[in-house]
Amino acid sequence: MSLASLACSRSYLPSRFSIRFVSSKYIKPHPRSYRRRLYEAAVAPVLPETPKQCNLAEVLERLNRQETDYAEIELAEVKEIRRWIKEHKFRIMVVCQFLSVNGRTLWLTRNQLRLNGLELREIDNKIAKKLFENTSFNTLEPLWCAQNVFLFVVTYDNRIIPMKEIEKLAELPDLEVLRAQTAAILDQIPVQLTQALGHHSEQLSAILGQISSNNAENN
């Protein structure tokens, strides 16, 4: 076909058609067969992993950097907690060790304390170090370990607590009592999980029974 006839035939084609000339030397890439790739993967040599030496200085430097360096969101959290303390004018702060308790018990205790003018908050130890840095509470830095909670008080002013009452409040129960309480909490978890899972099945059965009874009455 000559160029003139090709140009003439192209002029009669609708505008939605397009013609593209491709060289005959263009080779379409063909991937290797699956069997070939499977064979190469099977006979590929298994090289031993390069052993890595633990550098104690680098590990200590990384841990120190994690404790001393603060992200922007952490600094913003410290600023927000300071604003919150000044806004509510808290005058007393109590640091308590946080033990494992049931979520419902913690929620009820927090609300009960709030009704009595006490605010229970969980603050990360790293945030607490930055929060009380260069303040009179900086001496409490050895307490920022494990898991602690903060109890902020407003209405307990103009009261001197005697030493006997402080010792009574700070006195820990017997270890056997703590062990029994921990065992009771752990025993409640599977029971509550079973009740939560069974509640939905019972509710579904009741709904299906009600639907079937309604259909029987309509028929």
CATH assignment of the domain containing 76: 3.30.70.1730
Task: Give the DSSP H/E element, type plus range, for residue 97.
Answer: strand 92-97
- Report the side by side order of strands in the sheet with 148-153: 92-97, 148-153, 118-121
Confidence at residue 170, expressed as pLDDT on a 0 to 100 scale: 57
Residue 50 belongs to some domain of the structure: no
Confidence at residue 204, expressed as pLDDT on a 0 to 100 scale: 84
Tokens of 73: 């969101």
Residue 130 belongs to some domain of the structure: yes
Residue 107 belongs to some domain of the structure: yes
Confidence at residue 98, expressed as pLDDT on a 0 to 100 scale: 74
Tokens of 87: 């806004």
Tokens of 15: 């505008």
Tally of domains within the chain: 1
Series of mean pLDDT values for 10-residue runs along the chain (219 residues)? 46 52 69 88 86 82 79 87 82 73 80 78 81 78 72 56 60 72 83 82 84 80
- In angstroms, rounded to a whole number, what is the distance separating the alpha carbons of residues 35 and 42? 10
DSSP assignment letter at 3: H
The DSSP annotation for 151-172 comes to: EEESS--S-PPPHHHHHHHH--
DSSP assignment letter at 145: S
Burial of 181 (0-12, 13-18, 19+ CB in 10 A): middle
Residue 143 belongs to some domain of the structure: yes
Q: Which domain holds residue 91?
A: 58-159
Confidence at residue 168, expressed as pLDDT on a 0 to 100 scale: 66
Residue 111 belongs to some domain of the structure: yes
Residue 26 belongs to some domain of the structure: no
Residue 150 belongs to some domain of the structure: yes
Residue 78 belongs to some domain of the structure: yes
Of 128, 133, 130, 121, nearest to 145 (Cα)? 128
